[in-house]
Amino acid sequence: MTHAISRPNPTMAEKIASIDALCARARIMPVITIAREEDILPLADALDAGGLQVLEITLRSAHGLTAIRRLREERPHLCVGAGTVLDRHMLDAVEKAGAQFIVSPGSTDELLRAALDSPVPMLPGVSSASDLMIGYALGYRRFKLFPAEICGGTAALKALGGPFGDVRFCPTGGVNPDNLQRYMALANVMCVGGSWMLDSSAGWDSVRRTSAEALALLN
């Protein structure tokens, strides 16, 4: 008979370190909604070939959980997270599917507390200082600013850096090749998220090229 050794969940400090590591690896995090199951692997491969290896797969389509599960099994070198996680049930489902990180567009007390009990690190969405303070009080220090351009863009991030000097952000929503460098120049921005590189109407190679061009802007 074997005895499983139960490992305690990571501490918040360990989760913050995981988020920092994956954001440093990402620099640009594609926010992906899978429209057709057959797109899962070619889309991920095109992003990977363009240099984007940290993928946020949203639960906005019926294929989100399948995509997380398949990419974890079939592309284990990628870092695969779940986006649009809105409640405890979705959090449980993406954890079971193998998500390596969890992203939400906003914050609720229920979701933030559920994620404290999860082994998977979470990047909660915030759009204001008040949202941020709710997560901050629970120990969170890394957030997604969403929708970044609408809630003040780089000016908002500079202002939030005053009272929240130990907080870092992944701005998402309206980030594109024209403003990417301005976001990444800020000390409190660890990476950016976006979907501009995901237009596959010109083929998978166009996804690869757009991804590589965006990363080249950061060199």
Q: Which residues are catalytic?
A: 56, 144
Query: Quick one: which segment of 45-53, 64-72, 194-202, 204-212 binds ligand G3H (CB under 6 A)?
Result: 194-202
Site for ligand PYR in 102-131 (CB under 6 A): 103-105
- Examine residue 173 and tell whether it contacts ligand G3H (CB under 6 A): yes
CA 139 to chain centre: 18
Residue 211's binding partner out of ligand G3H, ligand PYR, none, with CB under 5 to 8 Å set by partner kind:
none
Can you tell me which of 107, 194, 207, 214 binds ligand G3H, judged by CB under 6 A?
194
Tell me how far, at minimum, the Cβ of 145 lies from ligand PYR, in Å.
10
- For residue 118, what is the DSSP state? S
What's the CA gap between 146 and 104, in Å, rounded? 9
Amino acid at 20: D
Q: Which is nearer to ligand PYR, 61 or 209 (CB)?
A: 61
Q: Which is nearer to ligand G3H, 16 or 79 (CB)?
A: 79
Q: Which is nearer to ligand PYR, 13 or 168 (CB)?
A: 168
DSSP string, 120-180: S-EE-EESSHHHHHHHHHTT--EEEETTTTTTTHHHHHHHHTTT-TT-EEEEBSS--TTTH
Helix axis angle, 88-97 to 64-74, nearest 10°: 30
Residue from 38, 39, 119, 89 nearest 30 by CA: 39
What's the CA gap between 59 and 55, in Å, rounded? 13
Can you tell me which of 118, 127, 172, 211 binds ligand G3H, judged by CB under 6 A?
172
- Examine residue 153 and tell whether it contacts ligand G3H (CB under 6 A): no
Q: Which is nearer to ligand G3H, 16 or 124 (CB)?
A: 124
Residue 103's binding partner out of ligand PYR, ligand G3H, none, with CB under 5 to 8 Å set by partner kind:
ligand PYR
Q: Which two tokens stand for residue 171?
A: 């701005």
- Examine residue 140 and tell whether it contacts ligand PYR (CB under 6 A): no
What's the CA gap between 217 and 200, in Å, rounded? 21
Q: Which two tokens stand for residue 154?
A: 């780089």
Tell me how far, at minimum, the Cβ of 22 lies from ligand G3H, in Å.
17
SS3 31: strand
> Could you list the residues that contact ligand G3H (CB under 6 A)?
31, 172-175, 193-196
> Could you list the residues that contact ligand PYR (CB under 6 A)?
31, 58, 83-84, 103-105, 144, 146, 172, 193
